[in-house]
Structure 1
Amino acid sequence: MQDILANGLSLLPNFAWPWAWLALPLPLLMLLWPLREENGAALRVPYEPARLQLQASSRTAAVLQMLLLWLAWLCLCAAVARPQHLGEPIEPPRQARQMMLAVDLSGSMSEPDMQLGGQVVDRLTAAKAVLADFLERREGDRIGLLVFGQRAYALTPLTADRATVRDQLRDSVVGLAGRETALGDAIALSVKRLREQPQGQRVVIVLTDGVNTAGVLEPLKAAELAKAEGVRVYTIAFGGSGGMSLFGVQLPGADDQVDEATLTKVASETGGRFFRARDTEELVKIYAELDRLEPVKDAGPAVRPRIERYPWPLGLALILGVLALAWRGLRS
C-alpha cells in the first residue's frame, strides 16, 4: 500500500514557481468593475414564452463561455507555475584511473608451465585469462594496451571501451613484437602515452617473465622518466619454477631468468610495487591486490533531472481561449 501511495505521489508534478498560483483569483476583480449599459438595438419579442426561452438560452451560453475562460485561465496559471517531473536517476561518472597495461610477448611467454581450468597452458594464455577478468572489474577506467618483445608497440590508446582492449589482448600472440624483451622501451612508451593525463591517475602495470635484452632504454632509466612524469609503475614477474625446458627436461636455475632486482627497483622508484607470480592462482591474487591499491572510486549520489511540463497546460489554455472566442462569435 505504501509503495502504491509513493508511486502515485511521484506522478504528481512539482511546481518551480508555485507563487504564480496567487494570480488565479485576479479575474474576480472584473466583477467589481462597473458595467456599462448597452443602448444598442434590441430584439423585441412579442410573446412572453419566447422571450423567457431566449433569456435561458443566452444565460446558458454565457455560463459555458465563462467556464471555458476560467479553465483557460487555470491552465495559464499552471503553465506560469512551471510544472516539472523528476526523470530517471542518473549516476555521475566515476573517478577512475588512466592505466596502461604492458604485456610481454617475448618467446618465453609460450612456455607451457601454467594451469588454467585443470589444463596445462602457456604463460600468455594464463595471463590473458587473468587480465580479461581484471578488465571486467575496471569499469570507469580509461585503459590502453601495450605489448613488447624486441620492440614496444601500443595496440590501443587510452579508452573507456574495455571490450576493444580485451579483443586486442585476445588476438595477441607470442612473437608479435619480436622474441626478445625490451622492458625499458615498454615502460618509456607507456609513460609517453600517459603524459597528458591528469596527475595522480597515471598508472602502468607491466607483466613480464624475462630480463631486459633489447631496446634502447634501460629499465631504471625508464623508471626515472616515469617518476618525473608522476607515473606509478607496478611490475609483475610471471613464470613458474623451472620455466625453461629442453626436450621436455626442466633446466635448473630457470627462475633466475626473471630480473626481480631490477623490477623491484623500477616499482619502488615510481611509487608502485613489485609482485612475483609463479602460477595462475598467484597472478589472480596480484591483480585483485592491484584493484585494492588503485581503486575505482564509487560514483557520487545519483541526480534526477527535472523535466519541464509547462507546454501542456500552456497549449491547453490556448485551445480553451480559442474555443471561448469562437463560442462568443457564434452567439453574436
Structure 2
Amino acid sequence: MFENISFANPDFFWLFLILPLAIIWYLFKQKEESAFLRISSVKGFTYNSILPKLKPVLFILRLLALSAIIVAMARPQTEDISTRSKTTKGIDIVMAIDVSSSMLARDLKPNRLSALKEVAADFIKKRPNDRIGLVVYAGEAYTKTPVTTDKSIVLNALSEITYGQLEDGTAIGMGLATSVNRLKESTAKSKIIILLTDGVNNSGFIEPQTASDLAIEYGIKTYTIGLGTNGNALSPIAYNADGSFRYGMRQVEIDEQLLKDIAIATGGRYFRATDNESLEEIYDEINKLEKTEVEEFKYYRYEEKFRPWILLAGALLLMEWILRNTLFRSFV
C-alpha cells in the first residue's frame, strides 16, 4: 500500500502514541462501568444475544478512524522525478592515431593498433557529452572523422582504421598539425588532442615544434602517449613473397623527449604505455583529468494521496454511528 509513497509531514505519526493510551483508558472505563449482581441461579434468564460481547467493535472502529486521520495528516503522496541534463562546459577532443607499420608490433596483444582501437573505443563511450574526432597519420595525415557528438560515427570510423591506408612513416608534426586544424575554429570551453605514436618523427613537411606552436596559439592542450615496450619488440621487418609481413625483433624507438616537450608546452601530460593494461590506465587517467561539467535539473511532481484516508475515516465513523444507534442502541 505504501510502495513508492512518501510523507510530507511524517512528524504526525507520533500521534499514534495516543492509541495505546486510548486503549488503556477504554479498558479502565469499562471496568468502572461494569456492575455485578449476585443471584443464586440464572435459569430464569433466556436472553442469549451476543451483541453485548461485540460492543468493543464500536471502539475499534473509532481507533481505526483515528489511525486513518493520522495517516491523512502525514500527507501521503507519490513523487514523480524527471531530470534534464545540460552540458555547461563541453570539451572537443581529437584523437591522433599513428597507423605506421610499427603499430603492428606484437608487444601489445594482439598488436599495438588493435589494442589501441579497443581502449580508444572504451574511452569514446565514456564521453557522452563531448564532441570527438579522429585523425590518422603515418607518412602523412588526414582527418578520419571531424569532431562530432555522434559517437556511433566515431566508433565505426575507429573500427575501420587499418595499416596500409597511408604511405608508411611517422609524421608526428603532420598528425599534430592536422588535429590542430580540426580544433582551431572550435568554440568549446576546452580543446584537447590525444596524440599517440610508437616511433620518431621521420616524415612530413611540418615540424613537430611548429605544430606544437600552433596548438599553443589556439589554446589546445595536448596529451601525448608513447606506445611500446621497453627494449625489443616483435615487429614487421620485411615482406614475404605473398605480401604478408615477416616479423623479427627490433629495437623500440620512441622520441620521448619530443613528446614530453609537446605535452609540457601545450599544458598537457606525457604518458608511456608498455602493455595493454598501462594503455588502458592512461586513457582512464585522461578521462579523469578532462571532466565535462554537466548541470542536472530535477523536476518534482507530487500527487496527494491523503483524500482516500479521509474518506476511509469518515466511512468508519459513519459505520460506528449507525451501529451505535441501531444494533447497539440498547447497550450503549
**Shorter-normalised TM-score: what interval?**
0.5 to 0.7
Unmatched tracts of structure 2, length 5 or more: 8-79, 238-245, 302-332
Unmatched tracts of structure 1, length 5 or more: 8-85, 116-120, 307-332
Output the amino acid matched with 1:268.
Answer: I
Q: CA RMSD in A?
A: 2.5
Work out the CA distance in 2 between the residues paired with 1:94 and 1:2.
Answer: 38
Superposition pairs of residues 27-66 of structure 1, within 5 angstroms: none
TM-score (norm 2): 0.62
Alignment counterpart, residue 292 of structure 1, candidates 278, 281, 288: 288
1:228 aligns with 2:217: yes
Superposition pairs of residues 201-240 of structure 1, within 5 angstroms: 201-240=190-229
TM-score (norm 1): 0.62
Shift of 1:305: 9.4
Give the aligned length.
Answer: 222
Superposition pairs of residues 317-332 of structure 1, within 5 angstroms: none
Alignment counterpart, residue 263 of structure 2, candidates 267, 284, 295: 267
Report the CA distance shift for 1:105/1:88 in structure 2 as closer, same or farther (over 3 A): same
Match of 2:249 in 1: 250
Shift of 1:91: 2.3
Q: Percent identity?
A: 36
Report the CA distance shift for 1:305/1:182 in structure 2 as closer, same or farther (over 3 A): farther
Question: Is contact 1:200-1:230 (8 Å) kept?
Answer: no
Provide the secondary structure at the position in 2 that maps to 1:89: strand
Work out the CA distance in 1 between the residues paired with 2:131 and 2:107.
Answer: 32
More strand by share: 2
Task: Encode CA deviations 1:53-102: one digit per residue, 9 max, x unaligned.
Answer: xxxxxxxxxxxxxxxxxxxxxxxxxxxxxxxxx88432223633100000
Shift of 1:200: 4.2
Match of 1:302 in 2: 297
Question: Is contact 2:107-2:234 (8 Å) kept?
Answer: no
Work out the CA distance in 1 between the residues paired with 2:255 and 2:90.
Answer: 31
Work out the CA distance in 2 between the residues paired with 1:2 and 1:91.
Answer: 30
Work out the CA distance in 2 between the residues paired with 1:193 and 1:153.
Answer: 10
Superposition pairs of residues 1-332 of structure 1, within 5 angstroms: 1-3=1-3, 5-6=5-6, 88-93=82-87, 95-115=89-109, 121-198=110-187, 200-240=189-229, 241-243=231-233, 245=235, 248-251=247-250, 254-255=251-252, 257-297=253-293, 299-304=294-299
Shift of 1:132: 0.8
Provide the secondary structure at the position in 1 that maps to 2:299: coil
Work out the CA distance in 1 between the residues paired with 2:196 and 2:233.
Answer: 16
More helix by share: 1
